Amino acid sequence: MVAADLLTRPQSHRAFFHIRAAGRGIVLVVEGEGMGSGFEDEFRPVDDILRSGHRTRGVDAFTLTYLRAERQIRKIFTHLIFQSEAFDHKNSQQLRQALHDAPDLSFKKLTDGIQRLANVTVAELVGAEYDRLFKVLQKAKRYRDKLFHGQLPDQYVSTEEFIQIERDIRTWCELLAAGALKHIGYDGILDSHRKLKRPEIVKRVTELVPNLKAYEEFLKKLR
């Protein structure tokens, strides 16, 4: 069983409890006021598709959720970069352009970047389900790449299998959000260009990325 650690938002001391399924276990979450709405809003379009009954609902929901997983890891990375004392909102466009211009910025490279910046691995953020769910993500990427190029996966994939993969990817996103919120202060869902008061992260990131040129070089070193 994977349990989300007690979660709080810096701007709110009010909290409520709820229990929800995650993977093969139960997650007890203590949330600050309104904290769950961002994650729920992020996946509302996917839920609408799944409820539609349309024959392509499985592959459509799978595709949207996989894209959300990619976006979440990217936003956690860019959030960490934004914690450098060298940057504020006037640098947002420059930071986005540097990310856009970086060659072959893969999921793996972004996770390497997160570890360097936050001194914590994505495996630690996701928790005990990491190995199982990462294998699901690897399979999902193969399927997504085939679909993106107008090809069918090598084997027949039923609507039910696509829906199960979508559930697993969503569990990954939920566990990553909980772990990142605890260790970093940001879940990868809301706007990533926001400053948080995490002195240890600010110090580490500023040392690694003291200016825009250093950021461009940092991106090139990710493996």
Which whole number is the average pLDDT over 162-183?
Answer: 97
Give pTM, 2 decimals: 0.80
User: What secondary structure does DSSP assign to 40-81, as a single string?
Assistant: HHHHHHHHHHHHH--TTHHHHHHHHHHHHHHHHHHHHHHHHH
Query: CA 101, 106, 74, 115: dihedral to nearest 10 degrees?
Result: -110
User: What secondary structure does DSSP assign to 74-107, as a single string?
Assistant: HHHHHHHHHTSTT--GGGHHHHHHHHHHSTT--H
Specify the pLDDT at position 11.
Answer: 35
Which whole number is the average pLDDT over 66-92?
Answer: 97
Dihedral of CA 30/34/35/38: which sign?
Answer: positive
Phi, psi at 29, each rounded to 5°? -120, 130
Tokens of 3: 């349990």
Q: pLDDT tens digits, residue range 22-66?
A: 444 444 333 333 345 688 899 999 999 999 989 999 999 999 999
Cα angle 144, 145, 149 (rounded to 5 degrees) comes to 115
Q: What is the mean pLDDT of the chain?
A: 85
Give the rounded distance of the alpha carbon of 45 from its chain centre: 17
Q: pLDDT tens digits, residue range 97-141?
A: 999 999 889 999 999 999 999 999 999 999 999 999 999 999 999
Specify the pLDDT at position 36.
Answer: 56
Q: Residue type at 58? A: G
Dihedral of CA 176/179/182/183: which sign?
Answer: negative
Specify the pLDDT at position 153.
Answer: 63
Specify the pLDDT at position 32.
Answer: 35
CA distance 15 to 8: 8
User: Residues 122, 115: contact at Cβ < 8 Å?
Assistant: yes
User: Residues 157, 143: contact at Cβ < 8 Å?
Assistant: yes
Would the pLDDT of 4 be above 50? no
Return the SS3 of 167: helix
CA distance 188 to 180: 8
Q: Tell me how far apart the terminal alpha carbons of the chain are, to the nearest angstrom.
A: 31
Q: pLDDT tens digits, residue range 82-98?
A: 999 999 999 999 999 99
Specify the pLDDT at position 190.
Answer: 85
Tokens of 202: 């600010």
Tokens 């240890």 locate to 200
Which whole number is the average pLDDT over 169-183?
Answer: 97
